[in-house]
Amino acid sequence: MSHMTNGGLLSVAGLRRLRVMTQKELLQLFRDAALMVFFLYSFTGDIYMAASGVSMQLKNAAIATLDGDRSFASRELASRFQPPYFQPAGSVADARQAIRRLDDGDVMAVLDIPPRFQERLQRGEQVSVQLQVDTSNSVLGFLTSSYGAQIVGKYALEAAAQREGLGAAGGIAGPLVEADTRVWYNPNQNDAWFMGISELLTVVTLFSILLPAAAMVREKERGTIEQLMVTPLTSFQILFPKVVAMTLVILAGSAIALFGVLGPLFQLPMRGSLVSFFLITALYVFTTAGLGLLAATVARNLAQVGMLTVVILMPMLLLSGAWTPIEAMPPWMRGLAWISPLHYFLDAAYGILLKGVGMDLLWDSVLAMSVLGVVVFAAGMRRFSRQFG
Amino acid sequence: MNGQRIVALAWKEWREIIRDRLFFALAFVVPAMLMLLFGFGLTLDVENLPFAVVDYDKTAASRDYAYRFISSRYFAFQGYAADEHDVDALLADNQVRMVLVIPPRFDERLGRGEPAPVQVLIDGTFPERTQTSMGYVAAINSAVSLDNMAHALSRGRGIPLAEARQRVQPVKLEVRYLYNQSVKSIWSLAPKLIMLIMMLSPPFLTAVGVVREKESGSIFNIYSSTVSPGEFLLGKLAPYVAISIANAMFLWLLATWLFGSPFKGDPLFFAFATVLYVICTTGIGLVISMLVQTQVAAMIVASIVSIIPAVLYSGVLLPLPSLSPAASMLAHALPPMYYTNIVVGCFLKAVSWHALWVEVLVLAAYAVGLFGLGYLLFTKRPKA
């Protein structure tokens, strides 16, 4: 008798209870109009903004010239700083004006060509030109100096070839090493692909933690959990439908983002199997929802859940490797990245969508995510049963 | 406006916050945790990029050339691969991010004074990292080329190597890094993290704090009392502004002491601008709380509304000049960008009022605008 009413996981009654509870969760979710509006916005407008708005590359960096020579050679050198990387932003009269324009953030760099540049060049002396770079943003500063060095290096080599007679029919002949660089998976360096996928994963993570945790704590806060506890439902039958409902909604959101935004508007290639992408997404949502439920067993009210969500979400985002390459992190942090499910999901998502890899390469990520999911979910269930069992 | 009522409300709110111990603790712990986490973990330096080498030439010259990459701290050598087909799987499985292919006759071509091509395959999944690595590759290649040229010239003309070096490089570029002379990420990052965290935490706290009363129904006590909307908002928000100002000060201490960022500006000016900024971001939380009915919605809206502009449109991670026109407009329409200018100006450039008064003005306008909007949206006679 008691066995029947407790409804084993696979019994007919058990399955029906799961279905009914899932429906209840979905209904509750859909009734929060403001939440649903923002849910939709997160998977469409927000991802569109991230994918379209941002480029991580140096484009059109304003550069001013402090030309102390005003010769043919100095103008030739200055004129080589051109789009796409640079944008000439006029000339400055003296060093003070140069610093002022850099201070104001008006220009990114100032190219300083010394007096008698052409004369000394022709006499065979070595001349130094200076590039002053605003490195308040260190990535940008690095790229500016890197491109600047390439431009000046090329100019210098051509000048040398001309002077020393190394040039062979216009070009430079010599024991040079010439790199033919090929960029794989994203040959045009399309930032929208990287940013779009990264934003999608962030949004999925946010909702996977917050929605189930909030659904749980809301029941605690309002006392409806007590009502559920006096029903024949087991703690699994109370917790699992919440996760199933949120997973369904989040998968739908991801599908909208992929087929409604990233695919048609940004030509995201989606080279691998989409079935495995959605399966892995479901697994990831499940795993991450486990973290949310664990947080929900700690929190007493929604405000606490919110703060705990930030505590969980931010390290996960950071340790995923999307912003900072894992290999550049300090070793102890690299260790932490191995327990962040997002790290595995990121590998899998970029792998499937951009690289077109299959399960033969992704099985380790899937396995790691499953293990994490089971551990976290079991811990959440245990704490929940202790609190209310 | 009755000052006593405002104080009473603020006191009530403060009591409520500190009685919820976990919430109170997290209100202070979260910003500090984020600062430590991002400060230590969010390095934008691209280092230890895992790479493999395919050497078809197998000569001393090709090994020397490969060694330039192997010995660089920017690259982490993972081993030699037999041929190009092996590297497909390595790149696909993220085991390496770059492959250097040295073709046959590398040594022979260089020996004859001809250019020698090499091939570099780079994983383009993370465009910014790809660009940086391409910069490293270009730097190593041009150093190698100059070396080779100098050696060739010195042999050919019978002049000393040092002179040959000078001759092949008639123009030298000296780069002066301004504002952050070591281009160390953490220096320039830590101050901007204050901006980032102060954009995330106050809206969140505030939105949840106000909506909590809506959801639990205790706001009806306010509706039915003599407290005016203005008094309620000031009293309600004062504790959150206070917590956030305390947090901002603590973050400033972390940035200067723990991360060693230089603070070259005027502390008073910086404190003033920071208070303005915190009021702005609290105001964002206020407006959100007026628009939603449930705490879940408040949290989602606060995260989406604040994280995106703070991370993407403030110039922390991404260069502002490279934003698309639409995104650039959005960046200019939101407070984080202005406060970023102030933070960078105060920490790294030692500029003050004369360069930053526009930014301060914009923040002030924002604070007034947001609180005005919150005031207009707040009504003591809700529909339904």
For A226-258, write each residue's pLDDT tens digit.
Answer: 888 888 888 888 888 888 999 999 999 999 999
CA-to-CA distance for A286 and A247, rounded, in angstroms?
7
**Are A277 and A376 members of one domain?**
yes
Shortest CA distance from B151: residue in chain A:
A175
Backbone angles phi, psi at A89, to 5 degrees: -125, 45
| B291, B300, B355 ranked by CB distance to A103: nearest | B355
Between positions 355 and 384 of B, the ones with CB within 8 A of A are 355
Position A11 scores a pLDDT of 76
- Dihedral angle computed from the Cα positions of residues B259, A311, A350 and B314, in that order, rounded to the nearest 10 degrees: -50
Task: Tell me the pLDDT tens digit for each residue of B38-65.
Answer: 887 776 667 888 999 999 999 999 999 9
End-to-end CA distance of chain A: 20
| CA angle at A11 for the pair A6 and A14, rounded to the nearest 5° | 55
**Are B355 and B246 members of one domain?**
yes
Pick the range with the lowest mean pLDDT from A147-151, A202-206, A229-233, B286-290.
A229-233
**Are A297 and A242 members of one domain?**
yes
Residue B382 lies in a domain: no
Q: Are A181 and B327 a contacting pair at CB < 8 A?
A: no
Cβ contact B319:A140 at 8 Å: yes
Residue A165 lies in a domain: yes
Locate B175 and state its tokens: 């780069």
Residue B176 lies in a domain: no
CA-to-CA distance for A316 and A337, rounded, in angstroms?
8
Domain boundary among B122, B140, B168: B168
Distances (CA, A) of B327 to A182, B313, B315, B337, B360: 30, 7, 12, 12, 22
**Are A213 and A310 members of one domain?**
yes
Give the domain CATH number at A168.
Answer: 3.40.1710.10
Q: Are B110 and A175 a contacting pair at CB < 8 A?
A: yes
Give the total number of structural domains in chain A: 2
CA-to-CA distance for B110 and A224, rounded, in angstroms?
79
Q: Which range has highest mean pLDDT (A334-338, B53-57, B182-186, B324-328)?
A: B53-57
**Are A22 and A96 members of one domain?**
no
Q: What is the mean pLDDT of residues A287-293?
A: 89
**Are A164 and A260 members of one domain?**
no
CA-to-CA distance for A365 and A374, rounded, in angstroms?
14
- Cβ neighbours around A162 below 10 Å, total: 12
**Are A213 and A260 members of one domain?**
yes
Q: How confident is the model at residue A56 (pLDDT cuts 50, 70, 90)?
A: low
Partnered with residue B122 across adjacent β-strands are A183, B98
Query: Residue A247: CB partners within 8 Å, gap ≥ 6?
Result: A208, A282, A285, A286, A289
Shortest CA distance from A54: residue in chain B:
B323
Give the domain CATH number at B69.
Answer: 3.40.1710.10
Report whether pLDDT(A5) > 50. Answer: no
SS3 state at A63: strand
Q: Are B115 and A176 a contacting pair at CB < 8 A?
A: yes
**Are B17 and B82 members of one domain?**
no
Partnered with residue A130 across adjacent β-strands are A112, B174
Q: State chain A's mean pLDDT as an integer.
A: 85
Cβ contact B168:A160 at 8 Å: yes
Query: Residue A356: CB partners within 8 Å, gap ≥ 6?
Result: A269, A271, A272
Q: What is the mean pLDDT of residues B359-365?
A: 89
**Are A235 and A202 members of one domain?**
yes
Partnered with residue A111 across adjacent β-strands are A65, A131
Position A1 scores a pLDDT of 37
**Are B38 and B57 members of one domain?**
no
Q: Are B299 and A135 a contacting pair at CB < 8 A?
A: no
Position A172 scores a pLDDT of 63
Distances (CA, A) of A289 to A79, A199, A209, A341, B359: 56, 18, 5, 11, 41
Residue B150 lies in a domain: yes
Distances (CA, A) of A257 to A275, A284, A288, B21: 16, 17, 20, 39
Residue B178 lies in a domain: no
Cβ contact A81:A88 at 8 Å: yes
Residue A49 lies in a domain: yes
**Are B26 and B61 members of one domain?**
no
**Are B246 and B147 members of one domain?**
no
CA-to-CA distance for A243 and A224, rounded, in angstroms?
18
Residue B359 lies in a domain: yes
**Are B15 and B64 members of one domain?**
no
**Are B250 and B145 members of one domain?**
no
SS3 state at A202: helix
**Structural domain of B324:** 3-42+184-377
End-to-end CA distance of chain B: 28
Q: How confident is the model at residue B330 (pLDDT cuts 50, 70, 90)?
A: confident
Q: What is the mean pLDDT of residues A271-287?
A: 93
**Are B38 and B59 members of one domain?**
no
Q: Are B330 and A207 a contacting pair at CB < 8 A?
A: no
Backbone angles phi, psi at B280, to 5 degrees: -55, -50
Locate A162 and state its tokens: 């001309």
Task: Tell me the pLDDT tens digit for each residue of A17-53.
Answer: 889 999 998 998 888 887 888 899 989 988 888 888 7
**Are B207 and B329 members of one domain?**
yes
Domain boundary among B168, B196, B214: B168
Between positions 298 and 357 of B, the ones with CB within 8 A of A are 299-301, 303-304, 308, 312-313, 315, 317-319, 321-324, 326-327, 330, 341, 344, 348-349, 351, 355
Give the residue from A165, A353, A187 showing the smallest Cα distance to A276.
A353
Report whether pLDDT(B320) > 70. Answer: no
| A179, A206, A333 ranked by CB distance to B118: nearest | A179
Q: Are B324 and A189 a contacting pair at CB < 8 A?
A: no
- Measured between beta carbons, the chain A residues lying within 8 angstroms of B327 are 49, 52-54
Residue B73 lies in a domain: yes
Locate B220 and state its tokens: 């009806």
Report whether pLDDT(A287) > 60. Answer: yes
- Residue type for A346, please? L
Tell me if chain A has a CB within 8 Å of the CB of B75: no
Q: Are A189 and B130 a contacting pair at CB < 8 A?
A: yes
Q: How confident is the model at residue B318 (pLDDT cuts 50, 70, 90)?
A: low
Residue B384 lies in a domain: no
A109-113: strand order across its sheet: A86-91, A61-67, A109-113, A127-134, B171-178
Give the residue from B371, B239, B86, A9 showing the smallest Cα distance to B363.
B371
Residue A184 lies in a domain: no
Task: Tell me the pLDDT tens digit for each residue of B162-181.
Answer: 888 888 888 888 888 776 54
**Are B233 and B372 members of one domain?**
yes
Residue A359 lies in a domain: yes
Q: State chain B's mean pLDDT as an integer.
A: 85
Shortest CA distance from B74: residue in chain A:
A328
**Are B327 and B197 members of one domain?**
yes
**Are A104 and A45 members of one domain?**
no
B75-80: strand order across its sheet: A177-184, B116-123, B98-102, B49-55, B75-80
**Are A47 and A94 members of one domain?**
no
**Structural domain of A161:** 61-172
Give the residue from A276, A278, A262, A283 showing the smallest Cα distance to A357.
A276
Tell me if chain A has a CB within 8 Å of the CB of B159: no
**Are A194 and A332 members of one domain?**
yes
Residue A183 lies in a domain: no
**Are A206 and A339 members of one domain?**
yes
Q: How confident is the model at residue B321 (pLDDT cuts 50, 70, 90)?
A: low
Q: How confident is the model at residue B183 (pLDDT cuts 50, 70, 90)?
A: very low
Tell me if chain A has a CB within 8 Å of the CB of B95: no
Q: Which range has highest mean pLDDT (B58-72, B124-138, B170-184, B318-332)?
A: B58-72
**Are A158 and A194 members of one domain?**
no
**Are B59 and B24 members of one domain?**
no
Give the total number of structural domains in chain B: 2
10 Å CB burial of residue A289 (0-12, 13-18, 19+) is: buried
Question: How does A181-206 read in b/e, with b if 16+ C-beta sit within 10 Å?
Answer: bebbbbeebbbbbbbbbbbbbbbbbb
Residue B25 lies in a domain: yes
Cβ contact A50:A195 at 8 Å: yes
Cβ contact B308:A46 at 8 Å: yes
